[in-house]
Amino acid sequence: MNHGEHGVHGGQTQGGLGFAKSPKARGSPTRKVRALPAIKIRCLLPSVLSVSSGGGRFPFEDKMLRRLSFLFCGLMVCACIQAQLPADEPLRGWKTVEGQAFEAAIVSFDGTTVTFRVRNGQRSPLPLARLSPDDQMYLDEWQKKQPLKIVLPDVVGGDPASLQPEVLSEDERNEKFVYRTGHFEFESQGKFTQSLLREVARNFEATYELLKALPWGIEPAPASGEYFRARLLRTRSVYEAEGGPKNSGGVYLGREKVFLVPFESIGLKTVGKSYAKDDDFDTSTLVHELTHQMMHFWLNYLPQWVVEGTAEYTGILPLKTGRFRVSAAKTGLRDYLEHLQRAGGVPAPYPLEELFPMTNEKWNEILTSNRTMSHRLYFTSYLLVYYFMHLDGDGDGQLFVRYFRAVGAVRKEVEEYDKAVDEFKKQPGVEVLPDGRYRGPGGLKHPDRPAILKSETAPDEFQRKTLQILLNGRTEAELTKQIRAAYAKLGIRL
């Protein structure tokens, strides 16, 4: 399993950077370095958010369509933040929603329930909603200041119960071989040997477990149906015909909820009538695309640098025999940089002042037109995610986890709103029009629209606001300086 190869696919014919052969790549001495850094492109997603718009007789039927990409975050409360109590929280005066006053110190607050310690030392829990609005606000602010206790997993592998791959069908004539593991159903254009099937299965399942275990709050679930779906394609031409972009090593198609990877990106060879691992077998492309798939319900809420940076991050983590060594992330970083060095040089970081506000349109334009710039974008995205995970502040990923929680809170709010709208549409008298809009009788209470969906500018505002969590009072220039200094400490000059 090689991660030094990350970001490389087999498009030898496309030349370009003239990557040197690597005589001694890690893990596999005979491994060939393939010629072209992959630009792993996630296709632009059509909205995974349903369109709920209206136009008609009632005030809730306004014409605002759901917008893709960045959504606004009004409230940074998250039910899942378990703030840790610093040494001695002082006694303070509080008021209940009915105006009853009492004195107590905060012991803990999980976003919905606060545990107090009163003067005699006794502890007592109280739902947040029972407190006065001012005190609720105070708790929100208090919670934001508390350090989160973040525990990174050490080693993550697939659950043994999910690992036994099942052969669903093998149709030689139509080149259709279907396999299934605990969470995945994947189709291959070639028959897999037992050992290849086992290897692919354990990498799939390990990536699923990894995204569950990382502190980003992803909770991966198939976008539709019971299984995550993948298609492994025998040739590059089939891959491109099925929607794989040129220059890419793999793609996650958000609309179809499936990811496609050509055999050449993994490194397979034929053994008789079957396919097996070749010397340059490399699952980093699989892990990258799988990461997009696990994050399906988040993609519209995250800027491209986070989407690609997280997928690069997982793809570069050391992975061996179906187990990620998260605690050895630094080894992955070093191997990756070494690989880049051998392959023609480490790209120059992209200026953060331009990267942070970059629109998806601009990002995709660069991908299709400028390979050098594309490498810089992907590389910088990775550097940023690694930095926020391991080097910023105390090196425990505080701000990055807070960032994900803030995004997650809004994501959840929209999800709940969507559910409420679906329920609303089922009520008697509500008419769903052919274009998806709907109208209902007056007096019927429409679900409250989340702030993020209330205006055209809300998504951009959301992006700016969540970015502030990461900047944490720093300008882009100051952050750049700190990033360079942190990597320099590891002996990495950027």
Q: Give the footprint of Zn ion on this chain (CB under 5 A).
A: 40, 42, 308, 311
Nearest distance from residue 24's CB to Zn ion, in Å? 28
Residue number with CB closer to Zn ion (82 or 364): 364
Residue number with CB closer to Zn ion (42 or 229): 42
Q: In this structure, are residues 334 and 316 in contact, taking their beta carbons and an 8 Å threshold?
A: no
What's the CA gap between 381 and 393, in Å, rounded?
A: 18
Nearest distance from residue 308's CB to Zn ion, in Å? 5
Nearest distance from residue 39's CB to Zn ion, in Å? 8
Residue number with CB closer to Zn ion (3 or 439): 3
Residue number with CB closer to Zn ion (78 or 311): 311
Residue holding tokens 């050992």?
195
Q: In this structure, are residues 353 and 281 in contact, taking their beta carbons and an 8 Å threshold?
A: no
Residue 29: Cβ-neighbour burial (10 angstroms; 0-12, 13-18, 19+): exposed
Residue number with CB closer to Zn ion (264 or 308): 308
Residue number with CB closer to Zn ion (311 or 409): 311
Residue number with CB closer to Zn ion (131 or 311): 311
Nearest distance from residue 489's CB to Zn ion, in Å? 29
Residue number with CB closer to Zn ion (263 or 363): 363
Nearest distance from residue 289's CB to Zn ion, in Å? 7
Residue number with CB closer to Zn ion (231 or 277): 231
What's the CA gap between 172 and 178, in Å, rounded?
A: 11
Question: CB nearest Zn ion: which residue?
Answer: 40
Nearest distance from residue 392's CB to Zn ion, in Å? 23
Residues with Cβ within 8 Å of residue 20, at least 6 apart in sequence: 33, 342, 343, 344
> For the chain, how far is it from start to end, CA to CA, in angstroms?
27
Nearest distance from residue 424's CB to Zn ion, in Å? 36
Residue number with CB closer to Zn ion (165 or 245): 245
Task: State the amino acid at position 43 in one-letter form.
Answer: C
- Candidates 215, 319, 377; CA nearest to 3 is 319
Nearest distance from residue 420's CB to Zn ion, in Å? 32
Nearest distance from residue 12's CB to Zn ion, in Å? 21
Buried b (16+ CB within 10 A) or exposed e, 58-81: bebbeebebbbbbbbbbebbbeeb
What's the CA gap between 448 and 454, in Å, rounded?
A: 10
Residue number with CB closer to Zn ion (132 or 364): 364
Nearest distance from residue 343's CB to Zn ion, in Å? 19
Nearest distance from residue 172's CB to Zn ion, in Å? 32
Residue number with CB closer to Zn ion (308 or 335): 308
Nearest distance from residue 301's CB to Zn ion, in Å? 16
Task: State the amino acid at position 283 in one-letter form.
Answer: T
Q: How far is CA 471 from CA 35, 191, 356, 378, in A?
A: 36, 49, 11, 20
